[in-house]
């Protein structure tokens, strides 16, 4: 079964420049995803359902939800991004770094961005006030690309392995924890009225680090995984 998901080698003309190649990969991924529009809804539904589990499973008390709501939303967003893994990575005679970057950008636009847009609705459901929701959405906006990029490393490492999904989660969640801590820490600080500039700067630093360094790791992992096949 896994053998069928092996990436295919597609010949591409050497005269295509790197930016054009990135744009092509991005556009192709978005186009292909839109052909199965139903699948795009899945991470969003997962997001909603996981958030729903907490008031039902823990406590629907307003006080509890106000306090934990931001954290619950962040954890749910994290799990949704984790679940929608990258597939069908194709090898091109272009700098793999840029192609991985384009693919991850497409993944984020299709998964992370909708989560950010849906977050205010769920924020209201967990009784967060307007200021908290705004900061929460900002942290998700900065943080979900980081999650996508780290997830890309994991996806590339576990490409084609049996029980890749569980293994991916095991490998990636420890790397997600600092992003989660700072993302929710920002909202907690905002709720107390403390300045959030420092927190946001740190999250921005995570984003810059992820965008510049993680494609290297993903590309290296891709080459290893493909040489394994």
Partner 1 sequence: MVLRDCNPVYAVVAGDRYHSAPCRPGLGLAFAPKDYLQGNSYRIIFIHVPTAFLAQSIYIMMASAAVVTLVWRMKLADVFVKAVAPVGLVFTFLSLFTGAVWGKPTWGTWWVWDARLTSMLILLFLYGGAIALDRAINDEKSAARAVAVLVLVGVVNIPIIKYSVEWWNTLHQPATFKLTEKPSMPVEMWVPLLLSVLGLYLLFGWLACLRMKTEIVMREQKTRWVRELVMAGRG
Smallest gap, in angstroms, from Cβ of residue 197 to partner 1? 17
Q: List the end-to-end C-alpha distance of the chain, in Å, as a whole number.
A: 14
Closest CA to 116 of 140, 81, 147, 145: 140
Comparing CB distances to partner 1, the nearer of 191 and 217 is: 217
Closest CA to 90 of 82, 78, 101, 100: 100
Residues in the site for partner 1, rule: CB under 8 A? 153, 157-158, 161-163, 167, 170-171, 173-175, 177-178, 181, 214, 217, 220-221, 224-225, 227-228
At 136, list the tokens. Answer: 């929460």
Q: Is 215 helix (H, G, I), strand (E, B) or coil?
A: helix
Comparing CB distances to partner 1, the nearer of 91 and 220 is: 220
Comparing CB distances to partner 1, the nearer of 30 and 173 is: 173
Closest CA to 113 of 51, 48, 52, 44: 44
Cβ proximity of 114 and 34 under 8 Å: no
Smallest gap, in angstroms, from Cβ of residue 80 to partner 1? 20
Comparing CB distances to partner 1, the nearer of 35 and 162 is: 162
Smallest gap, in angstroms, from Cβ of residue 228 to partner 1? 4
Question: What CA–CA distances, in Å, run from 128 to 16, 46, 57, 180?
Answer: 49, 20, 19, 18
Smallest gap, in angstroms, from Cβ of residue 214 to partner 1? 8
Comparing CB distances to partner 1, the nearer of 26 and 199 is: 199
Smallest gap, in angstroms, from Cβ of residue 158 to partner 1? 7
């Amino acid at each position: 079964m896994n053998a069928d998901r092996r990436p295919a080698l597609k010949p591409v003309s050497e005269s295509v420049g790197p930016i054009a190649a990135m744009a092509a990969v991005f556009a192709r991924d978005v186009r292909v995803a839109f052909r199965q529009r139903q699948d795009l809804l899945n991470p969003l539904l997962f997001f909603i359902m996981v958030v729903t589990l907490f008031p039902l499973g823990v406590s629907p008390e307003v006080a509890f939800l106000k306090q934990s709501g931001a954290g619950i939303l962040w954890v749910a967003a994290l799990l949704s991004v984790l679940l929608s893994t990258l597939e069908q990575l194709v090898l091109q005679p272009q700098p793999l770094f840029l192609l991985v970057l384009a693919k991850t950008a497409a993944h984020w636009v299709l998964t992370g961005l909708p989560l950010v847009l849906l977050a205010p609705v769920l924020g209201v459901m967990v009784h967060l006030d307007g200021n908290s929701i705004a900061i929460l959405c900002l942290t998700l906006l900065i943080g979900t690309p980081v999650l996508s990029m780290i997830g890309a490393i994991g996806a590339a490492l576990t490409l084609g392995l049996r029980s890749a999904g569980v293994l991916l989660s095991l490998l990636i969640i420890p790397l997600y924890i600092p992003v989660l801590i700072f993302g929710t820490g920002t909202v907690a600080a905002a709720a107390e009225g403390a300045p959030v500039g420092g927190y946001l700067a740190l999250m921005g630093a995570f984003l810059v680090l992820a965008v510049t360094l993680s494609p290297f790791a993903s590309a290296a992992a891709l080459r290893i995984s493909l040489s394994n096949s």
